[in-house]
Amino acid sequence: MKNCLRIPRILLPREGFEKWAVIACDQFTSDREYWKRVERYVGDAPSTLNFILPEVYLGENDEERIAAIRENMYAALESDGLVKYNRGVIFTERTTREGVRRGIVAALDLEAYSCEPGVSAPIRSSEEVLKDRLPPRVAVRRASPLEFPHALVFYRDKKEKIVKGLLREELEKLYDFDLMEGGGHVTGWFVPEYIAADVLQSMHAKGDPAFAVADGNHSVAAAKAHWEEVKAGLTEAEIRNHPARFMLAEFVNLFDPAVVFHPIHRLVKEVDRDALCDFVTRNIRCKREGNLLCPALPASAESIRKVDALLEQFVRANGGSIDYIHGRRSLTRLAEEEGCVGVVLSPLEKDDFFPYLKGGANFPKKAFSVGDGKSKRYYLEGREISYD
């Protein structure tokens, strides 16, 4: 199989990692106070917060925010605050309550990626991509000379040979710090090109697909859409190595003991609570716990599709909206708000992951999460994606 990964030149801040690293923009989408705390903590310090559009703010001065992101990125490039490393990848250890999750930050080839249903590709999306959620993400990438990844991509290594091999190497430590807002601890080591080449080759697995996007499906799909725009104006020679063709991601072994699948719960907002609960319980066996509904269904993609179809049917007929919430505690708190009902889903089985994706199948949208909200990937490493 042709190698669909690349060894990038990665950018990192010279100092101040604690305020630099910020959680993925698609987290805490119903919790403005989380993002307000982040803003207060960061203050005027250099931070990836200045390079992202948190989804909690979508629809509020998007064009102004995107223009500010572009300006902030160019200012960062012109400053002395970023270090551009030689070609290599980063070996990371992220400590959360699930354990120590190990990953490899490298670049994937967007030409080898597909999110289209029924299309086999070396790198597949793992869930349905909601096309109406892509335009803001594409707009940010279109305006940006830099990228900072929050995507996690699974590979398969049951015996953990790749990670064990890296643990034996004497590598240069690049960062080692606590993440803000209780995100745990992260450490990263530089893996030089001569070692990285063998590592990336070893990550390729026989099978359909070789890699699967676990977290950040919409970000990868947006990067692909942006690349298609860029590619349309390039020659064949330019296409081969254009920086927008590639995207940084953290590659994680599906069989890492610290990889834990969590459900993504549904929060239905601006509805008549009793009417929604009555509608759902008439159609599926379900237990009501205050403002929460707990469907008595097996943990499967089909169960999630069934619940989603019911909620969408109700919202179409009666109004309201559906949000996707990480963590039962957050769901319980948010469901206390007027006109809100939380729907509790069950975690999927890890062993079913790659077999289900064979032949271009996708899990339903927001079917699972790798870790809970606070253990999601933080923006940290960067890469140039434009020649400007």
pLDDT grade for 147, boundaries at 50, 70 and 90: very high
Q: What is the DSSP letter of 57?
A: G
375 has a pLDDT exceeding 60: yes
**Residue range 26-70, pLDDT digits in tens:** 899 889 999 999 999 999 999 999 999 999 998 898 999 999 999
Residue 243 structure tokens: 């920086």
Tell me, what's the pLDDT at 388? 66
How far apart CA 135 and CA 287 sit, in angstroms, is 38
C-alpha distances in angstroms, 161 versus 95, 192, 252? 20, 18, 13
**Mean pLDDT calculated for residue range 312-327:** 95
**377 contacts: CB under 8 Å, gap ≥ 6:** 23, 24, 94, 149, 150, 151, 152, 215, 216, 250
**Mean pLDDT calculated for residue range 190-210:** 90
Tell me, what's the pLDDT at 374? 85
Q: Is 15 exposed, middle or buried (0-12, 13-18, 19+ CB in 10 A)?
A: exposed
How far apart CA 57 and CA 51 sit, in angstroms, is 14
What is the chain's mean pLDDT, rounded?
94
Q: Give which of 259, 326, 346, 241 is closest to 9, Cα–Cα.
A: 241
**Mean pLDDT calculated for residue range 287-316:** 95
Q: Is the dihedral of CA 163, 164, 167, 168 positive or negative?
A: negative
Q: Rounded to two decimals, what is the model's pTM? A: 0.86
**Mean pLDDT calculated for residue range 314-321:** 97
Q: Give which of 125, 45, 152 is closest to 378, Cα–Cα.
A: 152
Task: Tell me whether the omega of the peptide bond preceding residue 209 falls within 30 degrees of 0, making it cis.
Answer: yes
Helix then strand then coil, % of the chain, to nearest 5: 35, 25, 35
C-alpha distances in angstroms, 225 versus 54, 111, 162, 382? 20, 11, 31, 20
Render 362-381 in DSSP notation, one character per residue: -BPTT--EES-GGGSPEE--
Tell me, what's the pLDDT at 89? 98
Render 251-290 in DSSP notation, one character per residue: EEETT-TT--EE-EEEEEESS-HHHHHHHHHHHS-EEEET
> The tokens 């049917």 sit on which residue?
313
Tell me, what's the pLDDT at 352? 84
How far apart CA 354 and CA 152 sit, in angstroms, is 15
365 has a pLDDT exceeding 90: no
Tell me, what's the pLDDT at 329? 92
Tell me, what's the pLDDT at 208? 77
**Mean pLDDT calculated for residue range 139-167:** 94
146 has a pLDDT exceeding 70: yes
74 has a pLDDT exceeding 70: yes
**Residue range 157-188, pLDDT digits in tens:** 989 999 999 999 999 999 999 999 999 999 99
Query: Are the beta carbons of 315 and 271 closer than 8 angstroms?
Result: yes
248 has a pLDDT exceeding 60: yes
Tell me, what's the pLDDT at 61? 87
Lowest mean pLDDT among 193-202, 240-249, 356-365: 356-365
> The tokens 């892509």 sit on which residue?
134
Tell me, what's the pLDDT at 13? 98
